Amino acid sequence: MIKPHGSDELNPLFVYDSTANEALHKEAEGLASVLVSSATAANAVMLGAGYFNPLTGYMNKADALSVATDMKTTSGLFWPTPVLNLLQDSGSIKAGDRIALKDPNVDGNPILAVMDVESVEEFTDEEIALISENVYRPSVEEAHPGVDAFLAQGKVCFSGPIQVLNFSYFQSEFPDTFRTAVEIRNEISERGWNKIVAFQTRNPMHLAHEELCHMAMNRLDCDGLVIHMLLGKLKPADIPAPVRDAAIRKMVELYFPKNSAMVTGYGFDMLYAGPREGVLHAVFRQNMGATHFIIGRDHAGVGDHYGAFDAQTIFDNDVPEGALEIEIFKADHTAYSKKLDKVVMMCEAPDHTKEDFVLLSGTKVREMLGNGIAPPKEFSRPEVAQILMDYYESIK
């Protein structure tokens, strides 16, 4: 199986030994505690689940700035985005303290992790701007939800290793879907898959997405597909994770050969960081055991902040050779061809005009679903459309 990023073995930071976990919970009750941001909590979940391998905790200022400018830590580890624990102020906590991190996303704010604080530092406004500009590359003409979420966290940086005690709300709310990198690797091994392609999604999958997965599997001669959906925080108006989950499961049940696809999810908040987040997504997938990863049009993008294929070209221009073992399957925009009566990559149909494709904007699709109108069968499977129509009807 493909090696995880940066090490020979996966090193998740979750405390699996039940006795040790219980002892840490008891210890944490007597420690100073901080209520962290949703982004910091999601980072803890990803560290615990093994997706952030080989990191051992939150980055300090020097590593965060090095990652933002050069996509590597000060030790030389390739990494695309800072992994931070940012707060508005440090209170009485100082370097050398052992603290408990409390979960902002679960009632009662239970303890999520125990942290050994190695440093307490504050970013300057200029340093925060540098991270925003290099990682998110926001267009000045429009708001950027990822930048807004980043700026809201604060400028005080707690760095150091952590031990993760639970997976926040993800395991309880998505018991059939949330999987750690460890669990996905184990299932891949149990299925006997050797060549695996992963598909990232934060949306329901329409016919073009489905066919793109089939194309990738066929062209790469893969043993299996891992559909890996984001289960964390999104921007307003995005489809909630339970609805996406139901729609994707129905699609796989009806339109994929048995045992050819796994439907899974991971506990992270969307960054909307476009190219940088596309590289981070590739790190996740290598750590969970995928050998190939689909990067399509406007991957991890938002609004008009990025070019349609910036998340592909970053792998050619900015990811050093050998930095990652996972291979990228570059996909063009896919759509249903009226001429060929099937879904194709638009770049592979040079004799077509725009009118030869069934193209619907996201706004138009949401409008149709909200009015109880199913998109055409060339755009969405009817069974998937029905689940989405039921959702929109429920929120009227």
Residues with a known catalytic role: 202-203
Distance CA 95, CA 121 (A): 9
**What DSSP string describes 283-321?**
HHHHHTT-SEEEE-TTTT--TTSS-TTHHHHHHHHTS-T
Expressed in angstroms, the distance from the first to the final Cα of the chain is 48
Distance CA 31, CA 151 (A): 28
Residue 7: Cβ within 10 Å count: 12
Distance CA 110, CA 80 (A): 30
CA 201 to chain centre: 8
- Cα radius of gyration (the chain): 21
Distance CA 269, CA 306 (A): 19
**What DSSP string describes 232-274?**
S---TTSPPHHHHHHHHHHHHHHHS-TTSEEEEEE-------H
